[in-house]
Structure 1
Amino acid sequence: MTDAGHLAQFNIARIKYPLDDPRMREFVDNVARVNGLADQIEGFVWRLKDDSGNAMDMGVHGDKRVLPNLTVWENVAALERFVWKTLHYRFYQKREEWFEHIEVTNAMWWIEAGTRPTLDDGIARLDHLTQNGPTDYAFGWQQIAGAQHWKTARCPAPSEHAA
């Protein structure tokens, strides 16, 4: 996948419990903290948010249990640094406590600098990746030349646990 402009990233997570459930407290209590970190990291451009400062009240395909996250980054290195080398990674490692397993949760695509994708854009890209596999229209970490941190830092998918 070719690097052109900025990198848009969309991911989803389906919560196991209502956001006000005590089992979700650690996650909910740290959303603003992790988002604030993203907002300040070098290479961060933009993220989708509503008046609450996050996107947790926006559902995907009409399902309010599916939380969207849509961000734009100057480059792959900035996104990798945020995802795998900051406090964000600590919460990523605990995702199975809060979220149900979804086979494809993340889609990325290149956009022209200054473009602000919509929630519908993110949903369309993720749906395309799920149905068609990686293309220039939507791809994952595996298709990004030079992306390295995800290979060693990511948590194994449930199917990778059995060997």
Structure 2
Amino acid sequence: MPEQMHLAFMTFSVLKAPYGDPSVQEFDDRTPDTFAEAESSDGFIDRAKPVEDTAWMTNYQKDWGRWGPFAVPRFYPGGTSSGSSYQAQTLSVWRDLHSVWTFAYRGARHRSALKQSAEWFGQQDWPIFAAWWIPAGHQPVWPEACARLEHLHDHGPAPHAFTFKSAFDPQGRPCRPNAKLEPEPA
């Protein structure tokens, strides 16, 4: 019987201004409801959350527990020190590609935020997300996610890291993210 696979999914964007700036406050205000929408979506398994979410701490200062130390891709212009933060990133695990695609493009709150993303984010010369298959039970960590996004940027979509436009199934075959994948016969 084939090993059960889940989908790891990282998003990464750079805000036009640091958190706390009025020009990006609406994005920050929407975040809790969007996370709640994701967590209640069919196929959602888990997402990176700090052990204790203290608002005054930067992501670098927070304890991310089993998600590992916080990390950003090499193309983040803000560096890795504490202080003002411009990065907006997530790391999550989903049952399958269809589930995260459905949340991203059919979830009311997320879809609405996507329509306004140009107000909050500047032009980015890297992929804003990467997806990859993991064995069920594997714990993705921030440094691993950054490496996958960087690989996608450097080499393009492949089973190692891919996008919705150029997606792969758990066996490495091209697939469509908006189609439910049927499990392989046992």
TM category, shorter: 0.7 to 0.9
Q: Which runs of 5+ in 1 are unaligned?
A: 150-163
The percentage of counterpart residues that share the same residue type is 28
Tell me, yes or no, if structure 1 residue 68 matches structure 2 residue 89.
yes
User: Matches of 2:49 and 2:38 in 1, distance apart?
Assistant: 13
- Structure 1 or 2: more helix by fraction: 1
Do structure 1's residue 107 and structure 2's residue 108 form an aligned pair? no
- The structure having more radius of gyration, on CA atoms, is 2
C-alpha contact 1:11 1:107 (8 A) present in aligned 2: yes
Q: What corresponds to 1:48 in structure 2? A: 48
| Counterparts of 2:148 and 2:4, CA distance in 1 | 17
SS at match of 1:102: coil
Change (3 A) 1:107 1:4: farther
Aligned to 2:10: 10
Alignment match, 2:178: 148
Q: Find the residue that maps to 2:32 and give its secondary structure.
A: helix
Q: Is the 8 A contact 2:98 2:178 kept in 1?
A: no
Rate the CA distance shift 1:53–1:147 in 2: closer, same or farther, 3 A: farther
In structure 1, the residue matched to 2:38 is 38
Equivalent residue, structure 2, for 1:153: none
User: TM-score, normalised to structure 1's length?
Assistant: 0.81
> Aligned-pair distance for 1:135?
1.6
Quick check: 1:95 aligned with 2:97? no
Distance 1:32 1:147 in 2: 25
Over the aligned positions, Cα root-mean-square deviation in angstroms equals 2.2
Counterparts of residues 132-147 of structure 1 (less than 5 Å): 132-144=155-167, 145-147=175-177
Residues 95-123 of structure 1: per-residue CA shift (max 9 Å, x gap): 11111221311111000111120010110
Aligned length: 146
8 Å contact kept, 1:18–1:24: yes
